[in-house]
Amino acid sequence: MTKFLLARLMKSVGLKTHSFLYLFLLVGTMVQAQNNITISGVVTDTQGAPIPGATVIVQNTTNGTSTDFDGNYTLSVPSNAILEIRYLGFITQTINVNGRTRINISMAEDTQMLEEVVVIGYGTMERANVTGAITTVDVVEVQKAPVANVVESLRGQVAGLQVTRTSGQPGSAPTFKIRGNNSLGTDSSALDGNNTPLIVVDGVPLTGGNMAEFNSDDIASINILKDAGSASIYGSSGANGVVLITTKSGTPGKPKVTISSSTGFSDLVQTPNIMNGDEFLKFRLDAVKAGDPNAANPAVASVLDQIELANFLAGKEVDWLEQVTRNGLQNNLGLTVSGGSDLGTFYLNGNYLSDSGPLTASDYKRYSIRFNGDINVTDWLKIGARVQMSKSFSDQRTRIVGFGNNGVPSLSALVESSPYGTLIDEEGNYTKFATTDLFAVNPLHKFNESKLDENVTRSYINPYVNIKLAKGLTYTMNSFAEQRNEFLGRFQSENFTDGADNLAQIRTRETTTYLLDNILNYKKTFGDHSLDATLIYGVQQSEWTEKNDQATKTAADQLGYWGIGTAPSETQTISINTSDWGKAYLAGRLGYNYDGRYSATFTLRRDSSSRFVDDNRVGYFPSASFAWNAQNEEWWFGGDVLNQFKVRLSYGELGNDDKINPFSYQANTNPTLIPPDLNTTGLIPGDVAGNRNLKWETSKQTNIGLDFGFFENRLSGSVEVYNTKTEDVLLLRRIQPALNNGYGRYPSNIGKTENKGVEVSLRGAIFDTEDFSWNMTANWATNETTIIRLNEVGPNGEPLDDIENGWWIGQDPTEIFDYQYEGVWQIGETPNITTFGNTPQPGDPKLKDVNGDGNIDTNDRTFVGNQTPDWYGGLNNVFRYKGFELSVLFEIVEGVSRLNDIYNTYASARQNRIAINYWTPENPTNDYPRVGDGSAMNVSGAFHNAIFLEDASFISLRNVSLSYSLPQIWLDRTFLNQVTLSLRGNNLKYWTDYKNAYSPEVTNTDQYPISRTWAFGVKVAF
């Protein structure tokens, strides 16, 4: 035993001379054996590559050896022995020696194992036994997308998983959700955050749920848990679904080195049609006339300021968007070394990613290193650790906003600045302001006079121990410690705006998370019955600290934000914010399978959370799910045509406590200067009262699923139907401060939502020949969320709408309640209707008289659409011809309405806007109403939003990947095993009616535009 171990150890460290010594010793001990012959040979994989460290053993004995670095083995065995050759990840082989002395063995990879085992919470399960709704993501396809964040690459790949990206800021994370919205959040802006799924990496739920610092190449598998049957093992944090990610391990065998590199170029995928100089001037003139056919033409000089007039006369015009855009550049360089033996495996990856976005002043760089390694201490004890360290640097000056009431976001200027503004002054410097309007900022000036750096350092270690206690019984301890530091440095020079002091800010945030899980698993099969029981006891704890320093009047602009310490002490302010939480949980899962036909899974989790007090601290989350593999019935009629027909049913309860602020049970306080002297501070209560009765939001989820396969799964798929009722939704109930000790909001569990939907996934191998194959996958999902109850009830207990948040009973949480725009009143038409009692003028909007009373007022607002798609999905085609591979992914989102804020203030002439076809007496269009002061569409006017509404449905060409792998025959004479060249594109094209925006998902002018990328890559392995 000891020697055996020693030998393996020596092999693994590659000490050839010593292994020779060992062999000598081993042979020495074997001399006594009788009728023995000495056999030798090479163990290789199917491609002929030697496998070092494979075990060659005489069946049912301890007589054995392992292969050396070149796959060779030598062993003395009885001439009639049966050899067993084992190697992790390969199918174990048995071979009759039959007197031979030279036996070469080719081992096949155990692909079966990889395909059929599904990673579930706290364990794995054979696909056939799965009872819940789990989607296994095709990681190979996902990794083809040239994007930095793995969540973004899931777009269009999974039925029921919706990813949206509202900002293209390099390094920024998209928002995503599984099966729509269940929770509402404290206000409508928190909706997305509150419905973000839990991300679990290698068994550890991520706090903050951010994958931004993860290298996608490190990911081995992604499984999406969508229903209670699968996710309730995560109890209080599983209600939004769970994304289970496992990272790569080394595979035993000859160490493999992979080097990959790609270079990409990006530009804007879609740009709004902003008015040019001529259009802008005409618009300003028309705005003065405000649709009055008798109005005299104003003088040009009266609608342009001095600066604009001078540029107009000189024929100078600025396209602000063009001034700020550039060719974006993406670089990705990775080096992986992985390998291992029976003794253990390792995986080491170093990755560098840089993304210089398509706008100036927005560079992102990320370095990440991962090491996953494990060692088999004995055949029943395995210890390993996963370690990651990453650091990102992000220049975010494009997000810079002036402080105080100079708070104009720089990027708004790309749309809003006058085309007759001045970009560069006579001295050759960027102007501070485009025009005399001190809100018309020059973004390039702001970039030059500011800094906004955000750096994230994230490191964690995830050690684990795995003990086989008895046959079928294993104990796993998974532990985890993570440190995540965010640094934000912000600076504005004295020259940033006229006459201001400089400003420096340094904000650091530190999150420390610990986790310790104890997992006991017992698997047993007796006869037709098999059992799989798991018991989990664990704790997780997180500490979050934010320190924010600000100062003005630093000693020198050159110091940037690092000069913060040179500021006069009275201008320095420090604020500290903290938020800690902890939870402890005990969970059990019992899986039972009978004869491969009937499966059942029961889980129960007991969560205790520091977020709640007293009786509400503990919650129970049960689920039960069942599956029936009909094709395994003896009477099954489907035969080879319908070879799989599996029906699943699950019900369970889940929570959403992660989204509830810690310490909501008590009223918080803020430091305030105490009058009259204002030289001491004391703590006074904030606006939000505490509620000691707070508890979890509870989602009751039902899922019915069907998995089917035709023609030996050439065509396979699944259909899911679900219904989720969420109760005790946490809302900040508005209360009257006058009557409630000054508190205006009261956190309480009184909301209620219902969410239902259908998902379909299909997978087909349309062609599958040796040289050519064509695989298609498609997914489709529809989802409907309805608000049942909100934070206020009427006198008779009937639920009332929450107008402030735009939430309406019986509607989707994103439903828009506004006037319905129908066209423009034309000259000569006699309006049969009044608006707020006044007769509309020609050029005014025609609005739908919803209540039919002949007058348009607030009672004529109606539900005009929402951001939840009617349906959405993806279509991916993969073609392979010899070494070529082409993947094309389309994403479709249908039935989305958004208020496109880029039309904001379009009726007033202060800022530039979209070139739209607005009404004038000479242009009697119905597209858009008249512009100008008299227009009903003014910023503060009631009908302001009515024309913003646009259909934001789209089809996008999401990803294209073309790759070519050099034929093996070319590589045989080199040291290389693989050379692949690729050309990959992301976000290439939108087909949509929502054209006046940076993408159909962007609603604001101050957002970073969305880019499209083409990347050329090379991957070499040896």
Partner 1 sequence: MKKYSKIITTLLALPFFFISCEKDVLNQDLRHTLSAEDAANTVKGNQALLAGSLIYAREVYNDFELRIPVFKQCGVDIVQAGTNLADEPATAMPAMNGYTSDLASISAEIQTFWDNYYQGITPANQIINSITSSGNIDDLSEDIKNSLGQAYTMRAFLYLELVRRFENIPIVKVANLDETGPVSETQQSSPSEVYDLIISDLEAAIPLLKKRVELDNSVLTISSGLANMLLAEASLDVGDYVTAAAAADAVIADESYSLQPLDGIFGLDGGKGGEENNAEIIFSIGFEPPATDNVQWTSQHFVPLYDRVAGVARTMDQGGRPWSRLSPSEYYWSLFDSDDDGDVEDEADGRIQAWHKLYWTFDDAENLPAGKEVGDRVTLEDVQAQWPDTPNNWRYIEPTTIKTWENGEYGRTTALAEGWRNIIIFRYAQAYISGAEAYFKQGNTAKALQYLNVLRERAYGNASGNFGSITFEDIVEEQARELGHEGHRWYFLKRNNLLVERVGMYNPSATGNIQDKHVRWPIPQGFIDQTGATQNPGY
* Residue 278 Cβ vs partner 1, minimum distance, rounded to whole Å: 20
**Contact string (CB under 8 A) for partner 1, positions 181-210, x = contact:** ------------------------------
DSSP secondary structure, 739-791, as one string: TTTT--EEEEEEEEEEEEEEEEEEEEEEEE-SSEEEEEEEEEEEEEEEEEE-S
- Residues 916-975 within binding reach of partner 1 (CB under 8 A): 940
Question: Distance of CA 406 to CAs 395, 397, 410, 489, 492, Å?
Answer: 21, 16, 11, 19, 12
Work out the angle between the directed axes of helices 2-13 and 16-30 (0-180°, nearest 10): 150
Going by C-beta distance under 8 Å and a sequence separation of 6 or more, which residues neighbour residue 996?
Answer: 272, 273, 900, 902, 903, 914, 916, 950
- Assess 21 for contact with partner 1 (CB under 8 A): no
| The only residue of 40, 436, 859, 917 in contact with partner 1, by rule CB under 8 A | 436
| The only residue of 38, 525, 681, 974 in contact with partner 1, by rule CB under 8 A | 681
Q: Which is nearer to partner 1, 224 or 689 (CB)?
A: 689
Distance between CA 908 and CA 941 in Å, rounded?
Answer: 11
Q: Which is nearer to partner 1, 94 or 579 (CB)?
A: 579
- Assess 46 for contact with partner 1 (CB under 8 A): no
Q: Which is nearer to partner 1, 152 or 658 (CB)?
A: 658
Closest CA to 260 of 367, 149, 144, 351: 351
Q: Which is nearer to partner 1, 271 or 610 (CB)?
A: 610
- Assess 679 for contact with partner 1 (CB under 8 A): yes
Neighbours of 615 (CB within 10 A): 9
- Residue span binding partner 1 (CB under 8 A) among the ranges 254-262, 268-276, 689-697, 1009-1017: 689-697
Question: Distance of CA 768 to CAs 337, 643, 865, Å?
Answer: 32, 18, 44
- Assess 122 for contact with partner 1 (CB under 8 A): no
Q: Which is nearer to partner 1, 371 or 475 (CB)?
A: 475
Neighbours of 227 (CB within 10 A): 32
| The only residue of 326, 523, 700, 734 in contact with partner 1, by rule CB under 8 A | 734
Q: Which is nearer to partner 1, 211 or 288 (CB)?
A: 288
Lookup: tokens for 877 = 């085609």
- Assess 798 for contact with partner 1 (CB under 8 A): no
| The only residue of 455, 518, 548, 834 in contact with partner 1, by rule CB under 8 A | 518
Q: What share of the chain is helix, strand, coil (3-state, %, to 5)?
A: 15, 50, 40
- Residue span binding partner 1 (CB under 8 A) among the ranges 447-455, 535-543, 626-634, 762-770: 535-543
Closest CA to 869 of 285, 288, 155, 287: 155
CA 195 to chain centre: 12
- Residues 454-483 within binding reach of partner 1 (CB under 8 A): 465, 467, 469, 475, 477, 479
Q: Which is nearer to partner 1, 87 or 491 (CB)?
A: 491
- Assess 516 for contact with partner 1 (CB under 8 A): yes
Lookup: tokens for 735 = 């209360």
- Residues 210-239 within binding reach of partner 1 (CB under 8 A): none
| The only residue of 139, 488, 587, 689 in contact with partner 1, by rule CB under 8 A | 689
* Residue 840 Cβ vs partner 1, minimum distance, rounded to whole Å: 17
- Assess 256 for contact with partner 1 (CB under 8 A): no
* Residue 643 Cβ vs partner 1, minimum distance, rounded to whole Å: 43
- Assess 608 for contact with partner 1 (CB under 8 A): yes
- Assess 112 for contact with partner 1 (CB under 8 A): no
Alpha helices (H) in 98-172, listed in sequence order:
111-116, 139-142, 150-153
* Residue 609 Cβ vs partner 1, minimum distance, rounded to whole Å: 7
Distance between CA 834 and CA 663 in Å, rounded?
Answer: 52
Distance between CA 844 and CA 855 in Å, rounded?
Answer: 14
- Assess 93 for contact with partner 1 (CB under 8 A): no
Distance between CA 697 and CA 657 in Å, rounded?
Answer: 7
* Residue 151 Cβ vs partner 1, minimum distance, rounded to whole Å: 29
| The only residue of 143, 455, 571, 980 in contact with partner 1, by rule CB under 8 A | 571
- State whether residue 698 is helix, strand or coil: strand
- Residue span binding partner 1 (CB under 8 A) among the ranges 95-103, 124-132, 393-401, 582-590: 582-590
Pairing between β-strand 855-856 and β-strand 834-835 as defined by DSSP bridges:
parallel
| The only residue of 207, 497, 718, 841 in contact with partner 1, by rule CB under 8 A | 497
Q: Which is nearer to partner 1, 628 or 743 (CB)?
A: 743
Q: Which is nearer to partner 1, 112 or 578 (CB)?
A: 578
- Assess 678 for contact with partner 1 (CB under 8 A): yes
Lookup: tokens for 180 = 């729509």
| The only residue of 115, 278, 528, 580 in contact with partner 1, by rule CB under 8 A | 580
Distance between CA 771 and CA 880 in Å, rounded?
Answer: 7
- Assess 642 for contact with partner 1 (CB under 8 A): no
Residue 12, judged by CB atoms within 10 A of its CB (0-12, 13-18, 19+), counts as buried
**Contact string (CB under 8 A) for partner 1, positions 800-839, x = contact:** ------------------------------------x---
Going by C-beta distance under 8 Å and a sequence separation of 6 or more, which residues neighbour residue 426?
Answer: none
Question: Distance of CA 695 to CAs 187, 244, 605, 732, Å?
Answer: 18, 26, 16, 13
* Residue 100 Cβ vs partner 1, minimum distance, rounded to whole Å: 34
Lookup: tokens for 875 = 């279509």
Q: Which is nearer to partner 1, 497 or 701 (CB)?
A: 497
- Assess 429 for contact with partner 1 (CB under 8 A): no
Closest CA to 717 of 643, 634, 626: 643
- Assess 99 for contact with partner 1 (CB under 8 A): no
Lookup: tokens for 437 = 């309007």
Rounded to 5 degrees, φ, ψ at 419 are -65, -20
Residue 126, judged by CB atoms within 10 A of its CB (0-12, 13-18, 19+), counts as middle
Q: Which is nearer to partner 1, 622 or 686 (CB)?
A: 686
Query: Which amino acid belongs to residue 45?
Result: D
Distance between CA 60 and CA 351 in Å, rounded?
Answer: 45
Q: Taking a C-beta distance cutoff of 8 angstroms, is the pair 351, 215 a contact?
A: yes
- Assess 315 for contact with partner 1 (CB under 8 A): no
Residue count, binding to partner 1 (CB under 8 A): 94
| The only residue of 738, 769, 796, 830 in contact with partner 1, by rule CB under 8 A | 738
| The only residue of 14, 48, 99, 737 in contact with partner 1, by rule CB under 8 A | 737
- Residues 356-415 within binding reach of partner 1 (CB under 8 A): 378, 380-381, 403-406
Distance between CA 461 and CA 953 in Å, rounded?
Answer: 43
- Residue span binding partner 1 (CB under 8 A) among the ranges 198-206, 330-338, 727-735, 953-961: 727-735
Q: Which is nearer to partner 1, 509 or 1019 (CB)?
A: 509
* Residue 407 Cβ vs partner 1, minimum distance, rounded to whole Å: 10
- Residue span binding partner 1 (CB under 8 A) among the ranges 251-259, 651-659, 739-747, 825-833: 739-747
| The only residue of 522, 743, 817, 879 in contact with partner 1, by rule CB under 8 A | 743
Sign of torsion over alpha carbons 564, 567, 568, 571? negative
- Assess 662 for contact with partner 1 (CB under 8 A): yes
* Residue 660 Cβ vs partner 1, minimum distance, rounded to whole Å: 13
- Assess 576 for contact with partner 1 (CB under 8 A): yes
Q: Taking a C-beta distance cutoff of 8 angstroms, is the pair 177, 755 a contact?
A: no
Query: Which amino acid belongs to residue 668?
Result: N
Distance between CA 581 and CA 607 in Å, rounded?
Answer: 13
